[in-house]
C-alpha cells in the first residue's frame, strides 16, 4: 500500500466510508502525496497530454480570442487576466505572445494564476514571472476579468450517485480486507431523471463565483474541457483514472494516477447564469479563429517541422481526436453579440 492509500484506509477505519468526492480530493490534492502536488504529470512523456502541451497554436488562438474580447469591451485597463489550473503555464505564455498584436493588452493585464500545486506553481513561475498566485478565484482582486480554464473543472472532486429501486445511492469508498473498495450509501432523496448522476458542488461554487464577478465588474470566461451537452450525454458514470495515457482503476494506488470526469456543459452554463453562455466544439472554435491559417504560416516558417505541425493541427481539431469531445464555453454579460469563434 502506498502512504496515501494507508492514510485513506486509516481514515475510513476510524470514521467509516468516504464519498468518491472526498477520495478524489485526497488522491489529487493531498499536500504531500496528492497526484498534482507531488509531480508534474503533463506533457508528451506524462500520464496525459493537454491541448496547450500539444502545440503552441492552441494558446495562440485563446490569446487572439481574449484580445478580441478585450478590444470590444473598450480595452479596460487594468483588468484581471485569470487562469484556473494553468498546469505548466504554457497556454498563458502562448496566449500573451499572440496578444502582442496589440501591445496595450499585456500592459493592462494583471495576471493571476489560481493553482494549488506547489510543483506546478514553480513551473508556471518560470514561464510567467509577472504572475501573482491565488488558491481560489475568490482571492483575486475585483475588477473586469478575463478568465480561462482548460481541463480544470474535470479535475475537481465529483460525487457519483446511482439510482436503485429504493432511491438514489451515493458511490462511496470503503475498506474490505484492508483494501479500498467501492460501496453504496443508504438511499437518499434525489431527482428522478437518469440512472447515474455526477455532481461537483465545488465546480458549481467556482462557476457561480465567476458569474457573480463578471456580471458585476464585466469581462468574460472561456472554459475548455472534455465533456458533453444534452446531445451527446453518455449513459453511465464518467469518472476515470489515467496512468501512462491508459485508463486505470480510480481506487488503485491513489496519488499515482490522474482522476478526471466529463463536464456537463448544459449544467455548467446554468451555473454561470446570469451570464449568457455560448457553446461549441473545440474543433469548430479553433477552425473559426484561424488555426488552419496559423498552421500553414508556421509550417512555411519552419519547413522541417511541417509534419509535426500538421499532426498537432489534426490532434487538436479532428472529430476523432480532440475536436468533438472537447467543448468550449464562453460566458459574457447579457446583451453582447456572440463572441469570436462561436456560431
Window contacting ligand SAH (CB under 6 A); options: 5-13, 147-155, 271-279, 323-331: 147-155
3-state DSSP assignment of residue 4? helix
Stretch that binds ligand SAH, among 8-16, 69-77, 85-93, 314-322 (CB under 6 A): 85-93
Q: What is the largest CA-CA distance in the chain?
A: 64
Q: Which stretch binds ligand SAH (CB under 6 A): 84-92, 178-186, 299-307, 319-327?
A: 84-92
Strands 219-228 vs 145-150: parallel, antiparallel or unpaired: parallel
Dihedral Cα 168, 174, 177, 181, nearest 10 deg? 70
Q: How far is the CB of 220 from ligand SAH (least distance, A)?
A: 18
**Identity of the residue, 116 or 324, whose beta carbon is nearer to ligand SAH in the bound complex:** 116
Q: Is 227 in the site for ligand SAH (CB under 6 A)?
A: no
Buried b / exposed e over 214-227, threshold 16 CB at 10 Å, is: bbeebbbbbbbbbb
Query: Residues 55, 56, 150, 160: which binds ligand SAH (CB under 6 A)?
Result: 150
Q: Does 50 bind ligand SAH (CB under 6 A)?
A: yes
With CB under 6 A as the contact rule, the residue among 47, 53, 198, 225 that binds ligand SAH is 53
Assess 63 for contact with ligand SAH (CB under 6 A).
no
- Give one DSSP letter per residue of 311-329, joined into a string: HHHHHHH-IIIIIHHEEEE
Q: Note whether 59 binds ligand SAH by CB under 6 A.
A: no
CA distances from 276 to 69, 96, 229, 270 (A): 14, 26, 16, 9
Per CB under 6 A, contacts with ligand SAH among 30-49 are 36, 42
Please report whether residue 240 would count as binding ligand SAH according to CB under 6 A: no
The answer to whether residue 112 forms part of the interface with ligand SAH (CB under 6 A) is: no
298 scored as a contact of ligand SAH (CB under 6 A) = no
Are 247 and 293 spatial neighbours (Cβ–Cβ below 8 Å)? no
255 binds ligand SAH (CB under 6 A): no
Going by the DSSP 8-state scheme, the letter that residue 188 receives in this structure is B
**263 touches ligand SAH (CB under 6 A):** no
- Interatomic CA distance for residues 288 and 299, integer angstroms: 19
Number of residues near ligand SAH (by CB under 6 A)? 19
| Stretch binding ligand SAH (CB under 6 A), from 69-77, 146-154, 176-184, 285-293 | 146-154
Give all strands (DSSP E) within the chain, no chain letters.
18-19, 79-84, 109-114, 132-134, 145-150, 159-164, 167-176, 179-184, 196-199, 219-228, 240-243, 246-248, 258-260, 263-264, 276-281, 326-332
Under the rule (CB under 6 A), what is the footprint of ligand SAH? 36, 42, 50, 52-53, 85-87, 91, 114-117, 120, 150-152, 155-156
Amino acid at each position: 500500500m502506498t502512504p496515501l492509500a494507508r492514510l485513506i484506509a486509516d481514515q475510513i477505519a476510524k470514521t467509516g466510508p468516504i464519498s468518491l468526492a472526498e477520495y478524489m480530493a485526497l488522491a489529487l490534492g493531498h499536500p504531500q502525496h496528492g497526484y498534482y502536488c507531488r509531480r508534474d504529470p503533463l506533457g508528451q512523456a506524462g500520464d496525459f497530454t493537454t491541448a496547450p502541451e500539444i502545440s503552441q497554436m492552441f494558446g495562440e488562438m485563446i490569446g487572439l480570442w481574449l484580445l478580441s474580447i478585450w478590444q470590444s469591451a473598450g480595452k479596460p485597463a487594468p483588468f484581471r487576466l485569470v487562469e484556473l489550473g494553468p498546469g505548466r503555464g504554457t497556454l498563458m505564455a502562448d496566449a500573451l505572445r499572440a496578444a502582442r498584436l496589440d501591445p496595450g493588452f499585456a500592459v493592462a493585464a494583471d495576471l493571476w494564476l489560481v493553482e494549488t500545486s506547489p510543483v506546478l506553481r514553480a513551473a508556471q513561475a518560470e514561464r510567467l514571472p509577472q504572475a501573482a498566485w491565488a488558491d481560489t478565484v475568490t482571492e483575486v482582486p475585483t475588477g473586469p476579468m478575463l478568465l480561462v480554464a482548460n481541463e480544470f473543472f474535470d479535475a475537481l472532486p465529483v460525487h457519483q450517485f446511482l439510482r436503485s429501486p429504493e432511491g438514489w445511492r451515493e458511490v462511496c469508498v470503503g475498506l474490505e480486507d484492508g483494501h479500498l473498495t467501492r460501496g453504496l450509501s443508504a438511499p437518499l432523496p434525489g431527482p428522478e431523471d437518469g440512472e447515474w448522476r455526477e455532481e461537483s458542488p465545488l465546480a458549481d461554487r467556482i462557476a457561480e463565483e465567476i458569474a457573480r464577478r463578471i456580471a458585476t465588474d464585466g469581462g468574460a470566461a472561456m472554459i475548455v474541457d472534455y465533456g458533453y451537452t444534452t446531445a451527446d450525454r453518455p449513459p453511465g458514470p464518467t469518472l476515470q483514472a489515467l496512468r501512462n495515457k491508459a485508463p486505470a482503476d480510480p481506487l488503485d494506488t491513489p496519488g499515482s494516477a490522474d482522476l478526471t470526469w466529463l463536464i456537463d456543459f448544459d449544467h455548467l452554463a446554468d451555473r454561470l447564469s446570469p451570464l449568457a453562455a455560448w457553446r461549441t466544439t473545440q474543433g469548430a472554435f479553433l477552425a473559426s479563429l484561424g488555426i488552419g491559417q496559423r498552421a500553414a504560416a508556421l509550417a512555411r516558417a519552419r519547413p522541417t517541422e511541417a509534419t509535426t505541425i500538421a499532426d498537432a493541427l489534426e490532434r487538436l481539431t479532428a472529430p476523432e481526436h480532440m475536436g468533438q469531445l472537447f467543448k468550449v464555453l464562453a460566458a459574457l454579460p447579457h446583451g453582447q453579440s456572440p463572441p469570436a469563434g462561436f456560431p
